Copies of this chain bind each other. A is one copy, B any other.
Amino acid sequence: MNFASDNTSGAAPQIMAALARANGGHQPSYGNDPLTRAVEARIRDIFEAPEARVYLVATGTAANALSCAILTDPWGAVFCHRNAHIEEDECGAPEFYTGGSKLVLVDGAHARMEPQALRRTVAHTGRGGVHNVQRGMVSITNATEAGAVYTPAEVKALCDVARDFHLPVHMDGARFANALVAAGCTPAEMTWRAGVDVLSFGGTKNGCMGVEAVVIFDPARAQEFELRRKRGGHLFSKHRFLAAQMQAYLEGDLWLHLARHANVMAAKLSEGVQAAPGAKLVHPTEANAVFAAFPRAAHVRAQAGGAAYYLWPFDQPLDGPGEEPLAARLVCSWATTEAEIEAFLSLIS
């Protein structure tokens, strides 16, 4: 009964099998192996983007921060939601990799930037010439940190704002697969067709051991990425092991199956939680995470019963004063079982 995060699960069996297969014999290092080439080609196919350049790294923070670094100057503003992972959960990695850019925060319900709020924030930034940080780039998280999903039309609405100001767009897709199956669109529709320039295409949270692909739709930006990746210590020597994970992840649409499972589990959990006494959602359940408030007593029972999850926001004391329900973040993954959900629901009901 672990809903703490989708990264508390291990790797899907197909991923582990692929690692074992990739292990035999010598292979050129640093990504010059045939498996890496095949994965790059496969991702270009999946995204219908024959010109795209694809790079593998092992962590989502690396994918995001390196992406920002090729999209903005050090004096550029990175426009993102107030609750974006790059703002709240990466210890300033974007600032580090960009050489000191400023994250400028945009509001919107459910951690979704509201296009008019984005437009106002961008318009407000950099009007004072060299005295101000300049407009740099936009970063969109899909699915959001509150478990919401942008549709392609919503992504496009944000990208249109960016385009009006000539800004490139990054998508943090640590949970891209979850967003995609929720939105029911193609990878191309969710990204470059809507106006996204660079995607952090997550694998780790959705059943891989540790791999993310950075998909750069404009190949002119690619060489700089390669240098920044190496300089950041993110170029693997035994690169075949990143490639093997990604190959298995894409093979037979495994990535979509895993994400669909996680989303289905979350929907089930969401439905069950809402039926519990005194419980209600605080964010709609659109992908693989449930944000719901329920009575303190239910929390006490759940935790005593062995359920692992975070209160939300993180700093809520369980034993604080007051009678109002406390919110929980409950994340489902490829590995979440119906039994876990039922056990949890029985504890809080």
Alpha-carbon gap, A231 to B8, bound state (A): 21
Alpha-carbon gap, A59 to B314, bound state (A): 31
Q: Check A157 for interface membership: any CB of B closer than 8 A.
A: no
CB neighbours (8 Å) of A19 from chain B are 16, 19, 209
Give the number of copies in the complex. 4
Contact of A226 among B66, B130, B226 (CB under 8 A): B130
CB neighbours (8 Å) of A127 from chain B are 314-315
Alpha-carbon gap, A299 to B134, bound state (A): 29
CB neighbours (8 Å) of A90 from chain B are 131, 230-231, 233
CB neighbours (8 Å) of A224 from chain B are 73
CB neighbours (8 Å) of A205 from chain B are 237
Known: A61-B235, A92-B102, A227-B130. A5 touches B29 (CB 8 A): yes
Q: Check A312 for interface membership: any CB of B closer than 8 A.
A: no
Q: Check A324 for interface membership: any CB of B closer than 8 A.
A: no
Contact of A7 among B8, B132, B238 (CB under 8 A): B238
- A238, B314: Cβ atoms under 8 Å? no
Q: Which residue of B has the minimal Cβ distance to A60?
A: B237
Alpha-carbon gap, A232 to B90, bound state (A): 9
- B26, A308: Cβ atoms under 8 Å? yes
Q: Check A10 for interface membership: any CB of B closer than 8 A.
A: yes
Q: Which residue of B has the minimal Cβ distance to A95?
A: B100
**Chain B: minimal CB distance from A37 (Å):** 16
**Chain B: minimal CB distance from A83 (Å):** 12
Q: Which residue of B has the minimal Cβ distance to A103?
A: B102
Interface residues of A (CB under 8 A from B): 2, 4-5, 7-11, 16, 19-20, 22-30, 57-66, 73-75, 88-93, 95-103, 124, 127-128, 130-134, 204-205, 209-210, 224, 226-238, 240-241, 308, 314-315, 335
Q: Could you give 7 example pairs across A and B, Cβ below 8 Å?
A: A4-B28, A58-B236, A74-B95, A92-B102, A95-B101, A130-B230, A134-B227
What 8 A-B pairs have minimum CB-CB distances, sorted nearest first? Answer: A62-B233, A95-B100, A2-B26, A7-B237, A61-B233, A10-B23, A130-B230, A91-B230
